[in-house]
Every structure is written in structure tokens, then in C-alpha cells.
Structure 1
Amino acid sequence: MGKIVISTNAALDGVVQDPDGQEGFERGGWFHQFAGAKDLEEWVANETREAQDAEALLLGRRSFEWFASRAPVMAERVSREWADRMDSLPKYVVSSTPDIPPWSNTTVLGRDVEEEISALKRRCDGDILVYGSYQLARALMARSLADELRLVVFPIVLGAGRRLFDGMSDKKPLHLVDTRRIGDGLVHHTYAFAPAGMGATS
């Protein structure tokens, strides 16, 4: 059985919007503004290990388009090892239409998405990574399809912007699995989602 892992970056107050400043959000661009060279070096190493351990990527349409458009420059600006792994992984994109940018090893999920994702979990044995894709991530959490949350917290309070858990209609107990520092200022938290109907355990 595969494990769906939501992996994301957030400000200290939970904002996930526009980390690279390309979406036009007035407080965007915080990813590079508030992380030092050592932070970013160790962040890249962490992302590369995570991708190497994964079996597949699961993305919403907008995040898929973002990654697909930047795939050619990832090797130069981030890490060749990470870029090569991202390119080689099977990719599953949730989209209402099949008209998506070309990227290797891509399958569109667009009919009964919940059943298709459940079937994907049954077929896989390893991690199914969800990058970005905040609308999809919320839907996965709401339907108790997400198994783990990996959250890298950046040392900045933005005060406004979209948050990962915006619009959640129910409580979601989680169990802290691990916390560790990345570089000098980032903190990586790993949480397991409690099974549906169960509270968090110590």
C-alpha cells in the first residue's frame, strides 16, 4: 500500500502562498528572502533524498504546469540529481481536461478522482509525493486519503496569504513523528495523519 505524503514549505504563521514571488502576491518571494545559503543547501539535499525515496508524484493541474514549465532549468538552479529524479518519476495529475503541458511519465486523473487515487495507493508500495497543489492537498486531507505531512517552516511571519489548512471543515488530529533543523533557520516537521475517526496518539 502506498503512502500519500504532502510535502510543503510554509511561513511561521502557516502561509504557503507564492513562495517564489512569481504569482504576484504582494508578500510573495519569501522562500529566498528569508533563508540563508546553508538553509537552501540543506533544503535541496532534503528534497533530493525525499524524491529519491518516492515512487510517484501526485499534483494538481496548476502545480503540474509550474513544475513542467521549470523542468528544463531545475538542473541548473536547484540540483541535477533532484531534477533528473523528478523527470523520471511517474506523475499523476488531477485535471478536468487532458490538455496539459508535456512531461515524461504523466497520467491524467480526471474521472472519479477519489477512486483513482485510492487505486493508485493500492498499486504503489512507496511514497506518493504531493508538492504544492494546495487545493488537492486539502481534498486529500478532507477525504482521509493523506497519510503524512512534511512541513518545512521558514522563519518569517507574513500576516496574510493563503494557508494550507484554509477552508478545512473538520478537525484533523495528527501525530508528530519527527522534528529537525535544516540549515541555520528552517525547521522540518513530519506528522502522520490519524486514521479517520481516531484522535491523535502520543
Structure 2
Amino acid sequence: MSEIVVQAFVTLDGVAQAPGGPDEDPESGFDHGGWQDRYHPDEDNEFVGEWESKTEALLLGRKTYEIFAGAWGVWDENADGLTGELTRRYNRVPKYVASNTLTTLDWKNSHLLGPDVPAAVAALRAQPGGEIRVWGSGQLIKTLAAHDLIDEYRLVVYPLVLGTGKRLFSEGFPLTQLTLTESRALPTGILVNTYRRRAAAEKGGG
């Protein structure tokens, strides 16, 4: 059985919108894009590299897919360090995309989930394999949570309050009981927290 793992960079007030750059997602006039750049923890590459070494597939909403395809999908696989490592991995693994509007996908190894996203994801999750990674994709995460399809959340929590922007756990997010299984504080004040579904945690994962 595979596991659906959500990874996200969030502020103290739960904002997950456009951490990586000013043009990443300016929707609704969001002008704090790139807020993650205020912090430069040396440990970033270490834990992200460790997490992504376990990625066997990507599960993405349309907007995040298009951002990833325009970045990892075109960047040099021979780049140094983590950038090259992730570019190679993301190009290799299958990408599963939830979209009501896209009809074709140009990034290699990409597949549309079809009209019944929960059923398609449940079928993927039931197959043998490793971690199916979700980045971004707030609306997709909400849908998956409503059908109890998320096994783990890995949240990198920054000591920053923006007061505006899309939140990971937005209004109307389904009731979700989680167990904190790991927490690490970085020197910059960033917390790296891992939460598992209550049932999955009680069973020891799985």
C-alpha cells in the first residue's frame, strides 16, 4: 500500500501561498510571495532531500502542476546539489494531476486523474509502493482530507505572521484528527513537524 504525504511550508497563521517566489501565486492580490526567503536555514536541503528521496509519485492540483512543470520540468537535470537531484527525480516519477480543465499534459510521465478524483487517488493509494507526494494543491488537499486519504502531513512552520493569503487548512476544512509523531526546531525558529492520521499513527503507520 502506498501513502499520501502532504508537505508544506506554512506561516504561524497557516498561510501556505507562494512561499517560493513573488510570481509563484499572486492570486487575490497576494503581495507576500517569496516570504520563505526571509529565512535561510542551512538544514533546508538536508530534510527536504531526505523527504524527497522517498517520493515515488507526485499528486498535484492544476495550478501546482503548472508551476512545477514550468520549473522542475524544464530545469537542467545536471544542475549541482539538490536542484539537480530533485529535477531528475521529479522527471522520472509519475505525476498525477487533478484538473477539470486540462485535457493534455506536456510534462513527461504525467497523467490526469479523471472526473472522480477521490476514487482515482484511493486506487493509487491501494497499490504497492512508497510515498505519493503532495506539494501545494490546497483545494486537492481539502478534497483528499474529506475522504480520509491523507496519511501524513509534514509541515515546515515559519515564525512569521502574514495576516493574509491562502491557508493550508482553510475555512470549511474537514474535521481531521492527527498525532504529532516528530518535531524538530531549527536555529532560525522554524519548526519541522510531522503529523499522521490518528488511525495510521495508532497502527504504527500504514
Report what 1:53 is aligned to: 54
1:187 to 191, 197, 204: 191
| Structure 2: runs of 5+ lacking an equivalent | none
* Alignment deviations for residues 29-83 of structure 1 (CA, whole Å, 9 cap, x no partner): 2011x212xx1x4223322221211211100011000000012237559621121
CA RMSD of aligned residues (A): 2.2
| Structure 1: runs of 5+ lacking an equivalent | none
> CA separation in 1, counterparts of 2:90 and 2:173?
33
Instruction: Name the count of aligned residue pairs.
Output: 193
| 1:26 counterpart = 2:31 | yes
Report what 1:3 is aligned to: 3
| 1:176 counterpart = 2:180 | yes
> CA separation in 1, counterparts of 2:76 and 2:10?
21
> CA separation in 2, counterparts of 1:122 and 1:80?
31
Tell me if structure 1 keeps the 8 A contact 2:145–2:174.
no
Aligned amino acid, residue 31 of structure 1 = Q
How much does 1:169 deviate? 4.7
How much does 1:28 deviate? 2.4
> CA separation in 1, counterparts of 2:186 and 2:2?
27
Identify, as 1 or 2, the structure richer in helix: 1
Change beyond 3 A, Cα 1:84–1:3: same
Secondary structure, aligned partner of 1:114: helix
How much does 1:181 deviate? 2.9
Percent of matched pairs sharing the same residue:
37
**TM-score (ref. length: structure 2):** 0.85
Change beyond 3 A, Cα 1:183–1:146: same
Change beyond 3 A, Cα 1:181–1:82: farther
Change beyond 3 A, Cα 1:44–1:168: farther
Report what 1:73 is aligned to: 75
> CA separation in 2, counterparts of 1:35 and 1:128?
28
* Alignment deviations for residues 132-152 of structure 1 (CA, whole Å, 9 cap, x no partner): 001101111111111110000
| 1:115 counterpart = 2:119 | yes
**TM-score (ref. length: structure 1):** 0.86
